[in-house]
Structure 1
Amino acid sequence: MSFTSLGLSPDLLKVLSDQHFTLATPIQQAAIPAILNKKDVFGIAKTGSGKTVSYVLPLLMNLKEAPKLKNRHVNALVLVPTRELAEQVKDVFKIFNKGLNVPVKAVAVYGGVSINPQMTALQGTNIVIATPGRLLELVASNAVSLSDIETLVLDEADKMLNLGFKEEVDKIISLLPQKRQNIFFSATLNADIQLIHQVILHDPLVIKIEEQEDSIEQIQQVAYIVSNENKGPFLRKLICSREMQQVLIFTSSVHAADAVVNKLRKNNFDAKAIHSKKSQGARTEALYLFKSGKLKILVATDLIGRGIDIDRLPFVINYELPRSPKDYVHRIGRTGRAEQIGEAISLVSPDELDHFEVIQKKMGKKVDLIYSENVV
C-alpha cells in the first residue's frame, strides 16, 4: 500500500518520496491512520518492521494542530530503553521535520552524558525522546514538565520492561495527565506487556503483525567450525578474502568485544567496539562512523546491537554465539533489511556445536557447516 492513501500531508509525502520510501509496511498501514485519529494503539511487530515511522509521521502531523505550551512543557513523550535508540528515533524525527512549514522540536535525553546541555536543549521542545532514569532526573530538576503530555509512546516496551525499567516507567506514567493518547510498540508479547496494556491503554487498536516463517529467507547463512584460538586469524582472513567493506561483528561480552577490536587494529584493520562500558560520546561516534561508511568494522554486544539499524548492511558475523536463539535471529536480522540480500556468518567452536544445533531447531532452518581448515 502506498503512503498516499494513509491520510498524510503533502509535505510529509514529499519527504517520504525524497527518502525513497515507496510502500508502507503492514504496521505502518494499520498504525498511521489510527494515530492520526488520536486512537490508542498497541502494536506488536518484529524489530525492523517500520514501527518508528509508524508513530513519527502522525505525531508530527497532529502536533501541527497542538496548542502552544509554556516553556519546558512538552506535547509528546517517547520512552525508549537505550541511548542508541533515543538517538535513532530523534534522527527519524529530524528527517521528516525538514518538510514541515512550522518545524517541531524533538530532543533526545539519556544518561551517561552531562545533564546540563540537555536541560538547556529542552527549552521550547515539543517532543522528548527519553530513557526513563534521565527523564526522572530532569523532571526532579524542573527542566521539563510532563503535565501537558498529549501523547505517550513506549517504543520497544518489551525490552524496557526486561531491562528493569518497570518501576521508573510506572513513576513517569503517574506524572502524566490521565487524558492522553497512548501508543505502545513491542517486538514480543509477554505477561508484563499484557498487564501494562490492560492497565494503561484505553480501547486500543491492537495490531499484531505475525512474523513470517520465511522472515530471514533473504539472509544467506553459513557457519564455520573453528577453534576458539583460531577464531581471530580466521576472522581476519575472512574479512580480507570476502573484501568486506562494512561488517558488524557480535560478541557475547564486553571483554571479548574489546579483545577482538584490539587484535584487528594490531593487524591494521579499521575497527571500533561499541558496548555498555564505552562512554556515550565514544558510542555515538563509533555508530555514526559505521553508519556513514567511514568505519569498516564495528564490534558490538547484544544489548548495544539493538540500536544498530542499517538498511543495507551486507555482513553480520557471530564471533561468538549468543545464549538465546532469539538473540541469534535478532543479530542476523541486522542484515538483509529493506528487502536487500544480506549474509550472516557464524564462527562456531567445537564446544558450541550442540548449542548451534538448538539455535537451528528454534529458527526452523538448517545452516551449512564448513570446517575452517577447508577454506582457502
Structure 2
Amino acid sequence: MSFSSLGLSPAILKALEKQFYNTPYPIQEQAIPFILKGKDILGIAQTGSGKTASFVLPILQLLQTKPLGKNRHISALVLVPTRELALQVGEVFKAFSDALPNRIKTLVVFGGVSINPQMIHMQGVEVLIATPGRLLDLVDSKAVYLSDVEILVLDEADKMLNLGFKEEMAAVFKLLPKKRQNLLFSATLGKDVDTITEFLLHDPVKIEIVAEEQNIDLIQQVAYAVEDERKGPLLRYLIKEQKMNQVLVFTSSVHRADAVVEKLKANNILAAALHSKKSQGARSDALYHFKSGKIHVLVATDLMSRGIDIPFLPFVINYELPRSPKDYIHRIGRTGRAESSGIAISLISEEEKHHFGVIQKKMKKKVELLSTDEIELKGY
C-alpha cells in the first residue's frame, strides 16, 4: 500500500516525498483514512510504530482548508507526558507543515522552563503540543483558550496515567468543547486507559498493531564503555582504524548531530548531518552524497532516518542510545539487510549502562561491553 491510497491530498503527498517517507507503517495505513473521515480513534501501538505521523498528516490536511480561527483559540491539541515526546511530536509537525502551501503554526509547551516566551509565542498557533500541567498554567494566564478545539490527541496515554497526570487531564477535558474528534494512542490498554476510553471516545475505530520481531541475528553487535568526553575521539578512531567508508551514526538530538559532524570534518572525515533543522536541499544533498559514496559518514536523528534505505549498509554506530529498546533495534536494523552481515557499534557512557542493560534484556541478546581504557585516542 502507498500513501497515495490513504486519501491524503497532493500537497501532503509532496511533503511526504520531501521528507523521504516512502511506504506507510501499518498504523498509518489503518488510522489515516478514518481520521480524515472525522472518526474517533483508539490506537494501541508501541513506540517506534509510526503513530506520530498517523495523526500529524491528517490533522495538517484537515487544517489546510480551515480558515484561521480567533487568536489564541487553538484548533488541535496534542497532550503528551514528557518534554522529550513533546519536542519529538513538534518536530514531526514542523517538518511536514514547512513543506505545505499553507503553513500551519504549531507550538510545543512544557514545564520546567519560563512560561513567558511560551505565552508570547501563542500568537496565531493552530496546533498546540503540551504537557497537561503547563497547558493548565497557560489557560490560567489566559494565554490560550480551548473552547474551539476540534481535534484532541492523547499520545502515550498509558504513560501519562502512570506518571500521575490523571487529575490534570480531567481538568483539561472540562475545558474542551463536547463536540470534537478524539484520537487516543497508547502502548497498552490497561484499566485506567480503558476507563478514559469509555468517556472520552465516541464509537471509536480500534486499531491494534502487533509489533513484528526484527531478525537481528545477522548483525554483529559491539559495545564500548567510554566516558562522554572520549566518545568523539573514539568515534573518529573507529572510523579511521576500521576504514569505514559508509557508516550511519545516530545521535539523540539535532545539536549533537551538528557537533559530531563538525568534529569529523575537522579531522578530515567526509561527513554530513541529516535532521529536521536542515533545509530540504541540504537534507536531499546529504542523503544523495551518502548513498553515492561522496561522503563516508551520515549523522542522523531518529526522526530523519526513515529515508535511509541502503541494502548493504555495513556499519551503524549509536553515538548515544535511543530512549526505547524498539528504537535501538530499528536503528541497528539499518545494517544486516538483504541477508548480508553488518556491524552495529554502541558507545556506552557510565550513565547509559543501566539503560543498555534494559535494551539487551528486551531484545534477549547479550552484548559484551568492551573497555576502551587501553585505546590511545590522542590525536583523534
Q: Same fold (TM over 0.5)?
A: yes
Task: Check whether the contact 2:106–2:128 (CA below 8 A) recurs between aligned residues.
Answer: yes
* 1:207 aligned counterpart, secondary structure: strand
- 1:260 aligned partner: none
Q: Report the counterpart of residue 256 of structure 2 in structure 1.
A: 290
Shift of 1:75: 0.8
Counterpart of 2:21? Answer: 21
How do 1:336-355 and structure 2 match up within 5 A? 336=332, 343=344, 345=346
- Partners of 1:169 and 1:118 in 2: how far apart? 20
Q: Does 1:134 align with 2:130?
A: no
Equivalent in the alignment of 2:147 = 147
Matches for 1:87-166 after TM superposition, within 5 Å: 87-166=87-166
Indicate how the Cα distance of structure 1 residues 217 and 62 shifts in structure 2: closer, same or farther if over 3 A, else same.
Answer: farther
Q: Is the 8 A contact 1:223 1:367 kept in 2?
A: no
Aligned to 1:78, what secondary structure does the other structure show? strand
Paired position in structure 1 for 2:318? 316
Deviation of 1:99 (Å): 4.0
Cα deviation, residue 191, structure 1: 2.7
**Counterparts of 1:21 and 1:235, CA distance in 2:** 31
Contact 1:43 1:208 survives alignment (8 Å): yes
One-letter amino acid of the counterpart of residue 125, structure 1: V
How far residue 176 of structure 1 moved from its aligned partner, in angstroms, is: 0.7
Tell me how many residue pairs correspond in the alignment.
Answer: 316
Distance 1:348 1:125, change over 3 A: closer
Cα 1:233–1:173, aligned 2, differ >3 Å: closer, same or farther? closer
Pair 132,308 (structure 1): closer, same or farther in 2 beyond 3 Å:
farther
The answer for the alignment partner of 1:60 in structure 2 is: 60
Distance in 2 (alpha carbons) for counterparts of 1:13 and 1:328: 29
Q: How does 1:12-51 map to 2 (within 5 A)?
A: 12-51=12-51
1:246–1:296 contact (8 Å) kept in structure 2: no
Instruction: State the partner residue of 2:311.
Output: none
Q: For 1:73-92, list aligned pairs within 5 A.
A: 73-92=73-92
- TM superposition score normalised by structure 2: 0.69
Q: Is the 8 A contact 2:147 2:176 kept in 1?
A: yes
Superposed displacement of residue 21, structure 1? 1.4
Q: 2:328 aligns with which of 323, 332, 335?
A: 332
Amino acid of the structure 2 residue aligned with 1:49: S
Q: TM-score, normalised by structure 1?
A: 0.70
Query: Which residue number corresponds to residue 201 of structure 1?
Result: 201
| 1:240-319 to 2 correspondences below 5 Å | 240-243=236-239, 287-292=253-258, 294=260, 309=303, 311=305, 314-316=316-318
Q: Matched residues in 1 for 2:217 and 2:169: separation?
A: 37
In 1, Cα distance between the equivalents of 2:183 and 2:193? 13
SS at match of 1:85: helix
Tell me the percent identity: 47
**1:215, distance to aligned residue in structure 2 (A):** 6.5
Q: Which amino acid aligns with 1:42?
A: L
Over aligned residues, Cα RMSD in angstroms?
3.9
Deviation by residue 1:145-182 (Cα, 9 ceiling, x = unmatched):
10111110112222222222222112111211122111
Show structure 2 runs of 5+ residues with no match: 241-246, 264-300, 309-314, 376-380
- Distance in 2, matches of 1:185 and 1:246, equals 31
Give the secondary structure class of the aligned counterpart of 2:332: coil
Kept in 2: contact 1:38–1:181 (CA 8 A) = yes
In the alignment, what sits opposite 2:281?
Answer: none
Residue pair 2:221, 2:367 contacting (<8 A) in 1 also: yes
The alpha-carbon distance between structure 1 residues 147 and 310, as it changes in their structure 2 partners (threshold 3 A), is same
> Cα gap change, 1:219/1:126 in structure 2, threshold over 3 Å: closer, same or farther?
farther
Between the aligned partners of 1:195 and 1:35, the Cα distance in structure 2 is 22
CA distance in 2, matches of 1:156, 1:288: 23
What one-letter code is carried by the residue in structure 1 that aligns with 2:239?
E
Whether 1:239 aligns to 2:235 is yes
| SS of residue in 2 equivalent to 1:335 | helix
Partner of 2:171: helix, strand, or coil? Answer: helix
- Determine the C-alpha separation between the residues in 1 that align with 2:200 and 2:160: 16
Structure 2 partner of 1:367: 366
Equivalent residues of 1:146, 1:176 under 8 A apart:
yes
| Deviation of the 1:138 alpha carbon | 0.5
Deviations 1:297-333 (CA, angstroms, capped at 9, x unpaired): 9xxxxxxxxx9645269323689xx9xxxx7724624
Change in Cα spacing, 1:47 to 1:370, as seen in structure 2 (3 Å) is closer
- Comparing 139-148 and 187-196, the one that deviates more: 187-196
- Partners of 1:105 and 1:234 in 2: how far apart? 40
